[in-house]
Structure 1
Amino acid sequence: MAFQSILFKDPRNVEKQLRTPPDFFVDLGLNNVAEELVKGLDEFNIEPLFYTPLDQTDEIVYRQQVFVDIENPRLMGAIRVFSDRFRMVLAYINNDRLYELQRQGLFLKAVNVYCGSLRDLAKALESGGIRSEGLQAFRDYLGNYLNTSEFNDLRTDAENTLSKITSVELCLTIKGGSISVSKCDGTVDYSEEVERVFERFMGSGTIGDEGVRKPIYIRGHVEEVVLEFAAKLYPDAFRALRDFYVKHKDFLNQTIARFYREIQFYIAYLRYIEPLKKSGLMFCIPRLTSNKGEVNCRDGFDIALASKLVKKNSVVVTNSFHLTGKERIIIVTGPNHGGKTTFAREFAQAHYLAKLGVPVPGSEATLFLCDTIFTHFERGEAVESLRGKLEDELVRIRNILEKSTERSIIIINEMLGSTTVKDATIIGRRILKRIADKDCICVYVTFVDELALTEGVVSYVSQVDVNEPEKRTYKVIRQPPNGLAYALALAKKHRVSYQDILERVKP
C-alpha cells in the first residue's frame, strides 16, 4: 500500500470533513471534549476530524490499529519527539521577522534538525514492532525517501554548509555604542565566560535540541550588521550558505509534512485520556458490529464528566450496558440526579467515539456501527416561539422519527415533564412503538416507571444507597423499575410510611 494519509485509508475522505459540530454535540457534552482536545493546536486544524465520524468499518479499523501501535510508550515517545522537532523546523523556516542572513542561518539549522528527526523516526519505526497498515505504509515510505538522491543531496549539502559556517570565528570588540568585527587570530575566547555570567537570564540553558551549544545571539538589526561584516570576512562560507538556501528552499517533503499534521489527532486524543487512565479508568478498542443484539460495554463512563471529575480528584462511577437478541430500547428510570442522563450520554458517546476510530471508555466493548445519532434533551421555552413546551417536544421528536433509519441511535432525555403522568405514559408508549417499528436503538430516560414495563423494552434503574435512600450511588443497573420501592425506603427512613403514621395516630 502506497502511503498517503495516516488518518484515512482512502485519502479521498480527507475532503469529506465537516466544519461544524453535529447537532447532538452539546447534548452529549462532546463539545467540551473537542474543545479540550484541540487546545493549543490551532495550527493543525484538527477540530473538523472530531466532527466527522467514519462510516466504513475498514476506515475505522485503520485508525484503531494505529492507536494500538502508538500505545507502545517507546514508539509514542519517538513520535512525540519527531513532532516537537518538526514543529521547530516549521518555526525556523516560517519566521518572517528575520533579516536575510539570519533567515539563511536558521534555514540551515532547520534542515539539519529535519534530517536528524527523520532518521531517528525511521529507526524507531523499524524497531517498534508496528502492525498497523497505516504506520507500516508510512515506515516504508519514509525508508524509501531517506534512500533517495533528493534526501541524500539535502543531507550532504547541509552537513558541508554547516561545516563551513561553524568554521567562522569572529572577534567582536564592543566599545561604547560601537562594535568592531574582525577575524579571530589567537584571541582569547570569552564566549563561555559570558554565557556563564548571563546564564540565569537565558531561560532553560544554552544547549540546543541537537546537543550543540547554542550561540549567543545579538538580536535584531545589530546582529544582521555583524553578519554582514562576517560575510565580507568569510565570503566563501556565506556564499555557500546563500547557495544552499536558494537550492533547497522547498526541501520539505509534503507527504511527511502531512503525516506530521495528521498524527496530531492521535497525540491529542491520547494526551486527553492519559490522566483518566492514570486515575484507574479503562479505555479499549471496540469491536464494531452490524448486529444490534450484540451491543455491550463494560465499565464505561461519560468521558466529558470524567475529565472534569478527575481534575478535581473526585471518584468516577462506571456503568455497563448490553443488548441481546431483539432488544433495541433501553428505558432508564430512578430518582432525580441519580446518573440517568450520564448513563444515556455514556451510551451515545461510546458509539460516536467508536466511529472516530479512537479508544472508547470501558474495559471491553462491542458497539453498533450506526449511521447517525439523534438526541432529544429538554429545552427551555423560546420566547419567540408560539408553541408551548409540550408541543415543541412533540414537534422535535416527530422530526427525529422522520429522519431516523433502522441504523440510527436515538437518545431521549426526560421528555414529557410538562404533562401528567397518565398523558406522558400514553404519549411515551406511542413514541416507543414508532421507534420499535423502525427497529432503532434507543435509550429513553424518563420519570415514568410505566414505560419501563412496555413489552420489548429493557429496564435500567439508577441506584441509591440501601441504608441511605437519599444518597445516590450513580450506578445504573439492568433490573425491573422500582420507583415505589425507592419511595417506600424514603418514607421508612423519615418515619412517614403508612405503618409509621398509623403508629403515631393510635389513641
Structure 2
Amino acid sequence: MKKNKEFSILFPDYDNIEYKQLSEESCHDLGLDTICSNISNDPKEQNLIMNIISNMTADHRVAEYRNRVFADILRCPDMRNNLTELFERLDFIRNFSSSRMETDEKLGFWHLMHRLDELNDYIKCVEEMKSCLENEKIESEGLKKFLEYLDELYNEACFAEMKKDIADLKLKASDIQSVTVGINVNDRFEATSMGLISVNTKSFKKSNIVSNFADAIAQKDKLNSDEPWNGDMHYHQVEKNQSHALSNTIRTLGAYLAVRSTPFVDANIRATITQTPEGDGSRASTFYLDKVLNKMLNSMVKKLRDTLSKYADIAIINISQLVPEFIYYIRFADFIEKNTQMGFHFCEAKAISDSGISMDAKGMYNLKLAINSEKMEDIVCNDLMFDSEHTIYILTGANRGGKTTITQAVGIMFVLAQGGISVPAESFTYKPVDCIYTHFPADEDKTMDLGRLGEECVRFKDIYSKCTKDSLLLLNETFSTTSFEEGFYIARDSVKALARKQVRTIYNTHMHKLAVEAAEINKTEGSAKVSSLIVKSENGNRSFKVEVGAPEGMSYARDIAEKYGVTYEMLTSGEKKN
C-alpha cells in the first residue's frame, strides 16, 4: 500500500488550481466568525470551517465539485447521522489508543490483545462507512470516488483477511496462562536473544530443575542436537527471590531451553527473534531470567503488534484525514436544514466559467443578519447583478439604510457558494472569484502611527496591488475620515484605477458626488463600467432595497427635513417680520 495516498472531497485533484486565503480582516469584515460560531459549538470545528471557506479559487470546477458533494449530504439526513456516529467512534478509538502509548513497553500481551480489539473496531467502522454510502443514492463525483477510494484502501489493507485472522487468533488477556519461548545463549552462557514459540491457556507444572538438568546432561539422548523440542525439558516457576540461585544454574546450562514445537509458529519464529540491545543495561541483568524475559517479551509483543497493524494504520490514517472534510459538510447541512425548517430560503449556487454575466443574484439576503432574526419576514431581500455594464457599483443611501449589510451579503454569497454550500437566495449564478478583499474602517489602535486617512491609503494600495480582474473588492466608507474634498479626490482616482483593472467592486459611501461622476469615469476607454447603486427611500423611510439609479442624496435629505419640520420654509413660516 502506498503511504499518504491523497484523496479529498473538498480539494479535487484537478490541474492548475491556485488557492488564495482570505485575510483575517476580510473574514471579520464579512462576519464569517459569527457564521462559523453558529454552525458549530466546538471551537476546533469552527476553526476548521473558517479555514476551508476562507480558502478560495476562481476555478469553477472546484465549486461545482463541492456543490454536488454537499447536495448529496444535505439530501441524506440518515447518512449524516450515521457518519457522525461512526466518526465519534473512530475518534474515541484513536484517543483511547494514544492515551496508552507511553506505557507501551510495559503492557506486553495485554496491549497486543487490546490492539487487536482496536483494529477489529476500525475495520467494523470502515465496513459500516462503506455500507452507509452504498445504501444511499449518491450522485456526486466526490462521494462516488470516495467510495472507490474506500474499497481500494479496504482491499489493500487486507481488512477482510485481517478481520478473519483477528477472529481466529484473538484471545482474552485473562486466558493467557503461559508463554513458551526459546532462548539463545553465547559461549559464556549469557542470554543473547529470544524467540516466541507459543501462547498457552494452561500453566506449566513445577518440577525440580536441578534433577532435570542433571538428567539431561547425563543422558546424551536428552541433550538436543537439533532445534525441535520433544517435551522432555520441564518448566520451573521463577520467583523474584530465586533470581540469584537461578543465575548460577544458567551459567552451566549452555542449552536451548525451549525451541519450536508447533507447525503454527515454525515458519514465523525467526521474524519474532529479538536481539538484546547493547548498552541499555540488559546485559547486566541477563542472569536474572525473570527480568530478561519481561524485557524481551514486551519488545517482541511490540514488534508483533506493529506487524499486525502495518497496513491497517496506513488505511486508518488516510480515512481519518477525511473526517474533518465530512464534518465541514455535515455541520453546514444541519445548519441549512434547521434554518430551512424555520422558513428561511436557500438555493444551490450555479458556477459559470465564462459569460457576460459574472453574478446574477435573485432574492439575496445577509446570512449574518438572518442568524439574529426570528423569521424570514423580518428580512429584506435584494436582486443584484455584475455584468459588462455593471462591474463597479458606487452604493449610496441614508445612514443606517443597509449599505454595509448589502455589501457584506455579496461577500458572504461568494464565500458560501465557492465552499459548495447552499446560499441565502432564491437563485444565484456567479463566476467564482480568486479572492475577496475588504476595506472597512480600521480599529482606532491601528491608525495611531499614520492617522486614519494615512492608514486607509496604505491599506488600499496594498489591496489594489493584490486584486485581479477575477477578484471581488468590497469598500465600506473608504476615504471618508477626512474632509469631503480630500476624500472625494482620492476616492475618484481609486475608482478609476479599479475600473481600469476591471475588478468587481461594491463601494458604499456617503460621497454622492462620486456616484454622479460615474458617467465621466466611464468615458475612459478600455475600463470596466461604473454604476450608481442606491438604497431606495420611500417618503423618507428606509426600505433597505437597492436598485441601479441616480444618487438620492439631496432628495432624501429633503424628505427627512420635511418629515421632521426643519426645512427653511417650515422653520420660518410662523415667524413675524420685524
Pair in the same fold by TM > 0.5: yes
Residues in 2 aligned to 1:287 and 1:313: alpha-carbon distance in whole angstroms: 23
Give the letter for the 1:125 counterpart: L
2:102 maps to 1:68: no
Q: CA deviation at 1:13?
A: 9.3
Unaligned runs of 5+ residues in structure 2 are 176-300, 520-528
Distance (Å, rounded) in 2 between the aligned partners of 1:381 and 1:500: 40
The amino acid that maps onto 2:458 is V
1:340, distance to aligned residue in structure 2 (A):
0.7
Q: Provide closer, same or farther for how the CA distance between residues 261 and 103 of structure 1 changes in structure 2, counting only shifts above 3 A.
A: farther
Q: Distance in 2 between matches of 1:481 and 1:384?
A: 31
Secondary structure at the counterpart of residue 323 of structure 1: strand
Counterpart residue type for residue 144 of structure 2: Q
Deviation of the 1:57 alpha carbon: 2.2
Contact between 1:389 and 1:418, CA under 8 Å: does it hold in 2? yes
Q: Decide which of 370, 383, 395 is 1:306's aligned counterpart.
A: 370
Deviation at 1:43, TM superposition (A): 8.6
Partner of 2:417: 354
| Higher-Rg member (1/2) | 2
Aligned-partner Cα distance in 2 for 1:495–1:346: 35
Which amino acid letter does the alignment assign opposite residue 142 of structure 1?
A: L
| Contact 2:110/2:173, CA 8 A, preserved across alignment | no
Distance 2:532 2:114 in 1: 65
Aligned counterpart in structure 2 of residue 379 of structure 1, from 424, 442, 448? 442
In the alignment, the residues of structure 1 paired with residue 441 and residue 355 of structure 2 have an alpha-carbon distance, to the nearest angstrom, of 30
Please point out which of 553, 562, 572 is paired with 1:483: 553
SS at match of 1:406: coil
Shift of 1:28: 1.9
SS at match of 1:504: coil
Hey, what does 1:83 align to over in structure 2? 87
The alpha carbon displacement at 1:343 in A equals 0.9
SS at match of 1:80: helix
Q: Using the TM superposition, name which of 91-100 and 61-70 deviates more.
A: 91-100
Q: Percent identical across equivalent pairs? A: 25
Residues 459, 480 of structure 1: 8 Å contact kept = yes
Aligned residue number for residue 55 of structure 2: 52
Aligned to 1:216: none
CA distance in 2, matches of 1:406, 1:52: 18
**Deviation (angstroms), 1:104:** 4.9
The CA RMSD measured in Å over matched residues stands at 3.9
> Residue 8 of structure 1: which of 3, 6, 11 is its match?
11
State the distance in 2 between where 1:283 and 1:103 align. Answer: 51
Query: What SS class does the counterpart of residue 284 from structure 1 fall into?
Result: coil
- Cα deviation for residue 441 of structure 1 reads 1.1
Report Cα offsets for 1:297-323 as digits up to 9, x if no partner: 12323333433x148999444333113
Could you report, residue by residue, the CA deviation over 1:193-215 in whole angstroms, capped at 9, with x for unpaired residues?
xxxxxxxxxxxxxxxxxxxxxxx
How far 1:443 moved relative to its partner? Answer: 0.3
| Equivalent residue for 2:308, pick from 227, 245, 248 | 248
Q: After TM superposition, give the deviation of residue 490 of structure 1 in Å.
A: 2.1
Residue of structure 2 equivalent to 1:413: 476
| Distance verdict in 2 for CA 1:505–1:369, change over 3 Å | same
Is residue 499–residue 530 contact of structure 2 (8 Å, CA) maintained in 1?
A: no
Q: Determine the C-alpha separation between the residues in 2 that align with 1:246 and 1:450.
A: 74
Residue 146 (structure 2) aligns with: 138
Q: Which moved more, 1:139-148 or 1:37-46?
A: 37-46
- Contact 1:344–1:411 (8 Å) recurs in 2: yes
- Structure-1 residue corresponding to 2:509: 446
Note closer, same or farther for the CA distance 1:312–1:91 as it changes in structure 2 (3 Å cut): farther
Task: String of CA shifts for 1:348-387, please: whole Å, max 9, x gaps.
Answer: 2222333333333322212232232222222255588554
Question: Aligned equivalents of 1:41 and 1:390: distance in 2?
Answer: 36
Structure 1 unaligned residues grouped into runs of 5+: 169-240
Change in Cα spacing, 1:311 to 1:103, as seen in structure 2 (3 Å) is: farther
Moved more, 481-490 or 18-27: 18-27
Asked if the contact 1:293–1:328 (Cα under 8 Å) also holds between the matched residues in 2, the reply is no
Q: 1:294 to 1:436 in 2, by over 3 A?
A: same
- Between the aligned partners of 1:462 and 1:285, the Cα distance in structure 2 is 27
CA apart distance, 1:151: 0.9
Q: Which residue of 2 aligns with 1:221?
A: none
The Cα of 1:446 is off from its aligned counterpart by 0.6
Within a 5 Å distance, the mapping from 1:114-263 to structure 2 comes to 114-146=122-154, 150-160=158-168, 165=172, 245=305, 248-250=308-310, 251-252=312-313, 253=315, 254-263=317-326
CA contact (8 A) 1:22 1:51 kept: no
Q: Aligned partner of 1:143: which letter?
A: D
2:31 aligned partner: 29
Shifted more, 452-461 versus 129-138: the winner is 452-461
Aligned partner of 1:295 in structure 2 is 359
Structure 2 residue 121 is the aligned partner of structure 1 residue 113: yes
Structure 1 residues 268, 106: CA separation in 2 closer, same or farther (over 3 Å shift)? Answer: farther
1:109 Cα deviation from its structure 2 partner: 4.2
3-state SS, counterpart of residue 81 of structure 1: helix
Q: Deviations over 1:102-144 (max 9, x none)?
A: 6556544433432332222222322312121111111123235
Query: Displacement, 1:433?
Result: 1.8
- Call closer, same or farther: CA 1:52–1:116 in 2, change over 3 Å: same
Contact 1:122/1:142 (8 A) holds in 2 = yes
Task: Kindly provide the amino acid, as one letter, of the partner of residue 9 in structure 2.
Answer: I
1:396 shift after superposition: 3.0
The 2-side partners of 1:108 and 1:483 are apart by 75
Letter in structure 1 aligned against 2:532: S
Deviation at 1:425, TM superposition (A): 3.7
Q: Report if aligned partners of 1:460, 1:481 keep a CA contact under 8 Å in 2.
A: yes
SS at structure 2 position matched to 1:442: strand
What is the DSSP-based 3-state SS (H/G/I as helix, E as strand, rest coil) of the residue aligned with 1:295? strand
Distance 1:13 1:49 in 2: 19
Residue 475 of structure 1, CA deviation? 3.4
**Aligned in 2, Cα 1:86/1:332: closer, same or farther, shift over 3 Å?**
same
- CA–CA separation in structure 2 for the residues paired with 1:280 and 1:103: 53
Partner Cα distance (1:58, 1:20) in 2: 20
Tell me whether 441-450 or 274-283 shows the greater mean CA deviation: 274-283
For residues 471 and 507 of structure 2, what CA distance do their matches in structure 1 show? 14
Corresponding residue for 2:266?
none
**Secondary structure at the counterpart of residue 357 of structure 2:** helix
CA distance in 1, matches of 2:360, 2:29: 22
User: TM-score by structure 2 length?
Assistant: 0.64
| 1:224-261, Cα deviation, whole Å (9 max, x unpaired) | xxxxxxxxxxxxxxxxx999956533423133222224
CA contact (8 A) 1:93 1:103 kept: no
Q: One-letter code of the match for 1:419?
A: T
Query: Structure 2 counterpart of 1:51, which letter?
Result: S
Q: Are the aligned partners of 1:88 and 1:110 in contact in 2 as well (CA < 8 Å)?
A: no
User: How far did 1:413 drift?
Assistant: 0.8
Give the TM-score normalised by the residue count of structure 1.
0.72
Q: Which residue of 1 aligns with 2:387?
A: 324
> Secondary structure of 2:361's partner?
strand
Question: 2:437 aligns to what SS in structure 1?
Answer: strand
**1:473 shift after superposition:** 4.4
CA contact (8 A) 1:161 1:244 kept: no
Q: Distance in 2 between matches of 1:419 and 1:43?
A: 42
Question: Which residue is 1:222 aligned to?
Answer: none
